[in-house]
Amino acid sequence: MNSMSELPIRILLAKIGLDGHDRGVKVLARSFRDAGFDVIYTGLWQTAQSSMLAALQEDIDVVGVSLLSAAHLTVMPEVLRWRKELGIEDVPVVLGGIVPEDEHQQLLDMGCAAVFNPGSPVTEIIATMKRLAEQRRRMSAAEAIRGYDDHQDTALAQLLTHIARGQLDGTWTPPAGKARIIGVTGAPGVGKSSFIGRLGKGLCARGHRVAVVAVDPSSPVHGGALLGDRLRMMWGEPEENFFIRSLSSGKVYGGLGPRCAEIVQAFSGYGFDYVLVESVGAGQSDTAIHDIVERTLLLLMPESGDAIQFSKAGIMEIADAFVINKCDLAGADATVGQLKSALEGDRPVFRASTVLNEGIDAVVDWITQ
């Protein structure tokens, strides 16, 4: 058992099936974040397969399934089946929901690590999650490297954790890869995650293998993070060649997280064709992403500035291309015009709408040319 002290405990909260709301699980997500956890919430209406695939890729320490539909005896066997199918039986699964007391033991016997009903004290739930995370058996660095060499996704996921913790510094170098590294940055709220989801699926549709490194900010007060990028990239059936890894920024400044460059190189050495790196919601001086990518896309949105704002130094200078996202909103034409008038040279400006799934193909064309 490895110490969990070097990075926050990583938990995934999943809403599987047809529950109509997720207010309660969002409250829990904030409570876990404030307890110092890194929390990945996958959103409503997920499947058992997509949720457990997310747990694999994110190298989750504990999965929490929230069910209010009384479908626990149908859903949980499917969750546990996919856990086994994907080779992550070491990851404990906890159930929270409306579960009759006389069915708790049945769920525990089938493989659930714990069962909580509405009204269970949050402190008790947090303590249980911490205990289960500490008890989880992880691959050693040597085991993860051997599995990586054998092209096992479970080993890749755990190796990324070893890299992020600094446990391989100077002791291992990934094989040379040929991935093209594309950065996606922009201010909070411009739609980076949704755009990357569309962009990644567009690249996969052309036969490419795509990895995403998505960074969200850590709490400066509690140290935990709510990693929400994956939520906006998961829809429909899981894409076999699309691997998403969320990172918290920790104490790293400039828009990235711990050892991002090394994680990108590990993805490249594993055989991915493209690695998309998403920064945290960036300000004018958050330009660190430029140092680890080949090309940088800067996302803007309608009415996000004027010609003077677009002429300022910093993040505008590092962009190789611009995407005016959310072009289904008013003001898109004016923003495109102001941006083009402020630019020097021939850097392209794309218009896109992830809601309407428009304009993505043109960006894919530019990336792959």
**Rg (alpha carbons) of the chain, rounded to whole number:** 21
- Model pTM? 0.94
Element (H, E) at 30: helix 23-34
Q: Using CA atoms, how far apart are residues 100 and 6, in angstroms rounded to an integer? A: 38
305 pLDDT band, cuts 50/70/90, is low
CA distance 22 to 58: 21
Segment 146-173, tens digit of pLDDT: 999 999 999 999 999 999 999 987 889 9
Please report the domains of the chain, with CATH numbers, ordered by start residue: 10-135 (3.40.50.280), 139-173 (no CATH), 180-368 (3.40.50.300)
Structure tokens at 117: 């009903």
Give DSSP secondary structure letters for 209-274: -EEEEEEEPPPTTTS-EEE-TGGGT--SSPPTTEEEEEEE-TT--SS--TTHHHHHHHHHHHT-SE
pLDDT tens by residue, 81-132:
999 999 999 999 999 998 999 999 999 999 999 999 988 999 999 999 999 9
